[in-house]
Structure 1
Amino acid sequence: MPEHTKIFAHRGSAGTHPENTMVSFEAALNAGADGLEFDVQLTKDQVPVVIHDETVNRTTNGKGWVKDLSYEELKTLDAGSWFDSTFSHATIPSLEELFQWASHNSMALNLELKSGLIRYQGIEKIVVDLIHTYHLEKRVIISSFNHYSLVEVHRLNPSIETAILFMEGLYEPWKYAKGIGASSLHCYLPVAVPELIQGAADAGTPVRPFTVNEEAHMRGLMRGGCAAIITDWPEKAVQIRSQTLEK
């Protein structure tokens, strides 16, 4: 069996905690996840913050676009009660807050640049500079559906791993990825077919499908030698991996 499949916690332990909050990341660490997957956007005053949607409407008690709110305004919002009232203390973290926390552990960090719908001016340089500040070049993987952003990250620092996000059944996507300087594939689970997993493995290109929440899918990908899975349920995935390795 190849090296065991790594487990990335999707927006933290999003199945059990409010997504993209420090309490969710802490839960993923405690569950034994190897890494985190999280989303980054820019506030009105150019502060990189960790939130998935372009607006705060779904995951906070506020309303409005992230790009139109200052960091100070965002920090006042309750980012936990929508999930459960016991998390009313949770707030939207800044990327710096997450990096400070990560400097005390060894988790891999899959940072998704949310630059598809809104072209945040200069987001790539702001993020890369912060990665440098915290010396996390070897622990961060930057992914995006906006592949122009990945090209820009690669131009700024070729030593930071980049991963193409895609949801289609692309043919030999490892060749395309290589063409833009990306070295891994983060694909929608339904397109992580055996031919893709095997072809990418032969090409030395890691595949990390999202979002892998069903036990049967976890087991299948782990047995198939998939490099990593991205899941809302890291605790369950860690247990299934240990069972799979025992067999």
Structure 2
Amino acid sequence: MSKAGRPFRVIAHRGDSTHYPENTLAAFASAIALGADEIECDVRVTRDGVPVIHHDATLRRVLGVDALVSDLSCAEVLALVPTRSRDGGAEVRVPTLEQMLDAVGGIPLQIELKEPSAVAATVAALRARADASLYGRVILTSFHRDLILAARALDDRLSVGWLMTDDHDVDPAACDAAGIASVMPHWRRLTSDVVSAAQRAGLSVRAWGVKDLACAQSAIAAGADGCTYDDPRELLAHLTARGARPHSKPLPPLAQVGKHGGRPAAE
């Protein structure tokens, strides 16, 4: 539990990126099946202006193609097969933002804006769905404060969160005044005082960079509201074992959710 008395939120980092190619429909479906509270993903924009779910500026690490996402058309990106995939099906290819929204149902989403061009494209895609419930379950995030503020300027119904590096201290009053709903420091920067001050100002506190259970437990001890994590199954099992999720549904056998194997990507 967080110190605010809320259950610690397991945010599946790029979906279940331990057992499936990251940022794919398969990774998202697995995270949902496991019982993750939210899904985190990344948005970039193709040459023809389509927002797609992909972390890196280039396609090399995930798809083995030496090209920028922004240099290819949407059709060209969607035709590529991840190097971690065994079957190459559509569920493990790069999805568009629209395809991802169609696939994940009502689960809350933490969508990171990776570049300036992603701001207007993402906001337009969310608006086009004419689904008021999206505003209650989507938070747009970025390491670049100007990008989330630009998103809010386009649509002030949107919730935004600031992914914070070591160059920035948490200033709850300034964040609240700017319309920022969540502060997201690296887990090493979290202390009980930092978390409590932010929560008193009405901000949620989510940790990033959490790569193992020891890091997750540090964030929990500081009182954070949740964290991103590559292996939602592992963190959910940890929380359940500690009595922090007594009503969690039984986890499915790993064979049902991890057929693609491989190691999670670096942050």
The amino acid across from 1:31 in the alignment is: L
What's the offset of the Cα at 1:215? 1.5
Worse-matched range after superposition: 127-136 or 58-67: 127-136
The amino acid across from 1:130 in the alignment is: A
Q: For residues 6-40 of structure 1, what are the alpha-carbon distances to aligned partners after superposition, in whole Å with 9 as ceiling and x for unaligned?
A: 11100111122111111111111111101111000
Q: For residues 190-217 of structure 1, what are the alpha-carbon distances to aligned partners after superposition, in whole Å with 9 as ceiling and x for unaligned?
A: 2123322222122221111113232122
Provide the residue aligned with 1:201 in structure 2. Answer: 199
The amino acid across from 1:171 in the alignment is: D
What's the offset of the Cα at 1:172? 3.5
The amino acid across from 1:76 in the alignment is: A
Would the aligned equivalents of 2:50 and 2:96 in 1 still touch at CA under 8 Å? yes
What's the offset of the Cα at 1:3? 1.0
Provide the residue aligned with 2:96 in structure 1. Answer: 94
After the TM superposition, which residues 76-225 of structure 1 pair with which residues of structure 2 at under 5 Å, given as runs?
A: 76-79=79-82, 82-83=83-84, 85-89=85-89, 90-102=92-104, 104=105, 106-115=106-115, 119-120=116-117, 123-134=118-129, 135=131, 136-168=134-166, 170-225=168-223
Would the aligned equivalents of 1:28 and 1:36 in 2 still touch at CA under 8 Å? yes
The amino acid across from 2:174 in the alignment is: Y
Would the aligned equivalents of 2:110 and 2:140 in 1 still touch at CA under 8 Å? yes
The amino acid across from 2:151 in the alignment is: V
The runs of 4+ residues in structure 1 deviating greater than 3 Å are: 169-172
1:59 aligns with 2:57: no
Q: For residues 141-170 of structure 1, what are the alpha-carbon distances to aligned partners after superposition, in whole Å with 9 as ceiling and x for unaligned?
A: 000112111111111221211001111163
Are the structure 2 counterparts of residues 30 and 235 from structure 1 closer, same or farther at C-alpha, using a change threshold of 3 Å?
same
Q: Which runs of 5+ in 1 are unaligned?
A: none
Provide the residue aligned with 1:47 in structure 2. Answer: 50
Q: Percent identity?
A: 26
Worse-matched range after superposition: 225-234 or 162-171: 162-171
The amino acid across from 1:92 in the alignment is: V
Provide the residue aligned with 1:4 in structure 2. Answer: 7
Q: Give the TM-score, by structure 2 length.
A: 0.83
Provide the residue aligned with 1:70 in structure 2. Answer: 73
Would the aligned equivalents of 1:219 and 1:240 in 2 still touch at CA under 8 Å? no
Would the aligned equivalents of 2:11 and 2:39 in 1 still touch at CA under 8 Å? yes
Aligned residues: 237
Would the aligned equivalents of 1:9 and 1:231 in 2 still touch at CA under 8 Å? yes
Q: For residues 50-97 of structure 1, what are the alpha-carbon distances to aligned partners after superposition, in whole Å with 9 as ceiling and x for unaligned?
A: 000001111003220111100011011112xx33x4253321100000
**Distance between the aligned counterparts of 1:192 and 1:169, measured in 2?**
14
1:38 aligns with 2:41: yes
Worse-matched range after superposition: 136-145 or 198-207: 198-207
**Distance between the aligned counterparts of 2:218 and 2:57, measured in 1?**
33
Provide the residue aligned with 1:236 in structure 2. Answer: 234
What's the offset of the Cα at 1:223? 4.3
Q: Give the TM-score, by structure 1 length.
A: 0.89
1:27 aligns with 2:30: yes
